[in-house]
Structure 1
Amino acid sequence: MIETTGLTKRYGPKKAVDDLSFTVRPGRVTGFLGPNGAGKSTTMRIILGLDRPESGRALVNGRPYRDLKHPLRTVGALLDARWVHPQRSARAHLEWLAAANGIPRTRAAEVLDMVGLTEVAGKRAGGFSLGMSQRLGIATAILGDPGVLLFDEPVNGLDPEGVLWVRKFLHRLAGEGRTVLVSSHLLAEMALTAQDLVVIGKGRLIAQCATDEFISRAAENVVRVRTPRTDLLGAVLGGERTAYARDGDALLVSGMDSARLGELAFDNGIALHELSPQRGSLEEAFLRLTGDAVEYQAV
């Protein structure tokens, strides 16, 4: 489990993280979202002991990272896929990390196989594509078989097959009872990957909840309805002062739930061929709730 309490961190006069508190629980993939400059990377660095907060604390399984006896066997992280020495092979990179952390050397071959890099294990990391580097970074994160994992933009540079593989892999890790925190700007992918969300803006917490709850909380209530008597239904809705818009042969009705809309159609003798609530997208919900927390905006 990851817990942050009252984290605050400044860079000069700017607060990168501002009294930030949240909890990431095991057994779920938690998406860590926020606009550019929101403080996500700084927060992850604080959790990993790479930056010190001015106040507050970050705990991994109840302890600060610096107090962990075997860090790589407790926490795995991918923050920068390109940090590997370019002249070192993927195998050599993992083997020296294993040796330094008391991990059996054979584990390097195991994780290379897990991420699909066995055939290029002897090649220099400097010649890897971004997608291959991402896979090597994931292999590094899971090298110590840790119970807590942090990933920053893990699908950058991956093709669609690779993105799908990462999604399934993260679900598998969480399904094994691990704590998985994933930061990403790819909201459509996060909607498919993250079961829970921590959303921040300008260093402060905006929301922490299940992904579905976040979307339903921010999305406008819209129902799609089809009827052979579209004009009559439109007139009835106008009488109810309910907004709607045409969508082909259907109407998109805002501000009225499907139950009330069905009753209204029945009371007015209007047959319905479709009555379906429209689920909002994570992107729409994100933009609606973080609009005031965007650090850099185009004019």
Structure 2
Amino acid sequence: MIEVTGLTKTFGSTTAVDDVTFTVRPGIVTGFLGPNGAGKSTTMRMILGLDRPTSGSALIGGKPYRSLTRPLQTVGALLDAKWVHPNRSARAHLKWMAASNGLPTSRVDEVLRQVGLTEVAGKRAGGFSLGMSQRLGLAAALLGDPQVLLFDEPVNGLDPEGIMWIRRFMHALAAEGRTVLVSSHLLSEMAQTADHLIVIGRGRLIADTSVKDFVDRASESVVVVRSPSADELRAALTERGYTVREEGGALLVAGVGIAEVGELAASRSLVLHELSGRNASLEDAFLKLTGGDVEFHGSGVDDVMKGGL
């Protein structure tokens, strides 16, 4: 279990993490989400003792990371897949880590096999692709067979097959009763991987909830309608007091049922090419709840073109 209590980190006049409290429980995959600059990596570094908190605490199994005698046997982490010495082979790197924590050498080949790197175990890590480096980082995290695991953007550089593999891998680790915390910017992937979400923005906790509750909290069911008489239909819907916006050539109507839109169109003899419902996705919920906490906002394509490149 990971317990974060009142965690705060300031760098000069900048507050990177602001009084954050949450618990990561065993047996489920917990997704750690937030816009760029939200404080995710800083929080994970404080959990692992790489950054000292300005105030508050982060405990792993009831203890701060720095007090762990054999840390690899308690917690495994993948924060930077490219931190390995480029001239070491994958096997040599893991042997060095095993020796530093009193682990048997036999464990090295076990984790290499587990992550699918047996055939390249003797090759220099500096020549690995990002996807292979991610797998080596996973092997290092698993080396001590820890009960607590932290992964920062573990699917970076993986192809679709690799992403599916790591999704199943995370689920299998959690099913063994391990505590699994995964940071990722791929929201569609988190929707299929995580059971629970910790969401932060500008260093502050925004949500600590299940994926379903997070989506429901920001959910706005809408009716999607396409018509060659879109302008006339929009006017009719607006007259009724419905909120209408356009997206990709379709009208999105909030606060109304499919039947009502269909009956209104029929009463005006308007032809419809599409009439369907749509619920919010994890991406929709994330953007709605963290939109004000994004550090930098980009301009739309039209704005960029108007202003010049």
TM-score for both structures, normalised by structure 1? 0.87
| Rounded Cα–Cα distance in structure 1 between residues aligned with 2:276 and 2:220 | 14
Aligned-pair RMSD on alpha carbons? 3.0
Q: 1:82 to 1:287 in 2, by over 3 A?
A: same
Q: Which residue is equivalent to 2:53?
A: 53
The answer (yes or no) to whether the contact 1:262–1:275 under 8 Å persists in 2 is no
**AA aligned opposite 1:93:** H
Aligned pairs for 1:18-37 within 5 A:
18-37=18-37
| Rounded Cα–Cα distance in structure 2 between residues aligned with 1:171 and 1:157 | 20
Deviation sequence 1:150-191 (CA, Å, 0-9, x none): 000101111111111111101111111111111111111111
Question: Does residue 42 of structure 2 align to residue 42 of structure 1?
Answer: yes
The answer (yes or no) to whether the contact 1:216–1:279 under 8 Å persists in 2 is no
Secondary structure of 2:200's aligned partner: strand
| Rounded Cα–Cα distance in structure 2 between residues aligned with 1:201 and 1:217 | 17
Q: Which residue is equivalent to 1:229?
A: none
Pairwise CA distance, 1:80 = 0.4
Q: Which residue is equivalent to 1:213?
A: 213
Secondary structure of 1:27's aligned partner: coil
Pairwise CA distance, 1:221 = 2.1
| Rounded Cα–Cα distance in structure 1 between residues aligned with 2:298 and 2:100 | 46
Pairwise CA distance, 1:243 = 3.8
Pairwise CA distance, 1:216 = 1.6
Pairwise CA distance, 1:253 = 4.1
Question: Does residue 214 of structure 2 align to residue 242 of structure 1?
Answer: no
Q: Which residue is equivalent to 2:143?
A: 143
Q: Which residue is equivalent to 2:13?
A: 13
| Rounded Cα–Cα distance in structure 2 between residues aligned with 1:251 and 1:11 | 46
| Rounded Cα–Cα distance in structure 1 between residues aligned with 2:223 and 2:122 | 56
Q: Which residue is equivalent to 2:282?
A: 282
**AA aligned opposite 2:100:** A
**AA aligned opposite 1:11:** F
Q: Which residue is equivalent to 1:3?
A: 3
Question: Does residue 263 of structure 2 align to residue 298 of structure 1?
Answer: no
| Rounded Cα–Cα distance in structure 1 between residues aligned with 2:261 and 2:43 | 50
Pairwise CA distance, 1:247 = 9.5
Q: Which residue is equivalent to 1:171?
A: 171
Question: Does residue 170 of structure 2 align to residue 160 of structure 1?
Answer: no
| Rounded Cα–Cα distance in structure 2 between residues aligned with 1:225 and 1:117 | 50
Aligned pairs for 1:96-111 within 5 A:
96-111=96-111
Secondary structure of 1:104's aligned partner: coil
Pairwise CA distance, 1:147 = 0.6
Deviation sequence 1:72-113 (CA, Å, 0-9, x none): 011000000001111111011111211211211111101101
The answer (yes or no) to whether the contact 1:49–1:65 under 8 Å persists in 2 is yes
Comparing 199-208 with 288-297, which one deviates more in the overlay?
Answer: 288-297
Q: Which residue is equivalent to 1:86?
A: 86
**AA aligned opposite 1:147:** Q
Q: 1:5 to 1:225 in 2, by over 3 A?
A: same
The answer (yes or no) to whether the contact 1:31–1:194 under 8 Å persists in 2 is yes
Pairwise CA distance, 1:209 = 0.6
| Rounded Cα–Cα distance in structure 2 between residues aligned with 1:275 and 1:148 | 47
Q: Which residue is equivalent to 1:123?
A: 123
Pairwise CA distance, 1:35 = 1.0
**AA aligned opposite 1:7:** L
Pairwise CA distance, 1:193 = 1.1
Q: Which residue is equivalent to 1:73?
A: 73
Secondary structure of 2:163's aligned partner: helix
The answer (yes or no) to whether the contact 2:262–2:275 under 8 Å persists in 1 is no
| Rounded Cα–Cα distance in structure 2 between residues aligned with 1:170 and 1:36 | 23
Secondary structure of 1:18's aligned partner: strand
Pairwise CA distance, 1:136 = 0.1
Pairwise CA distance, 1:237 = 6.3
| Rounded Cα–Cα distance in structure 1 between residues aligned with 2:246 and 2:20 | 43
The answer (yes or no) to whether the contact 1:49–1:66 under 8 Å persists in 2 is yes
Q: Which residue is equivalent to 1:230?
A: none
Pairwise CA distance, 1:70 = 1.8
Secondary structure of 1:57's aligned partner: strand
| Rounded Cα–Cα distance in structure 2 between residues aligned with 1:76 and 1:255 | 47
| Rounded Cα–Cα distance in structure 2 between residues aligned with 1:247 and 1:151 | 35
**AA aligned opposite 1:106:** S
Q: Which runs of 5+ in 2 are unaligned?
A: 227-232, 268-273, 300-309
Q: Which residue is equivalent to 2:305?
A: none
| Rounded Cα–Cα distance in structure 2 between residues aligned with 1:297 and 1:245 | 21
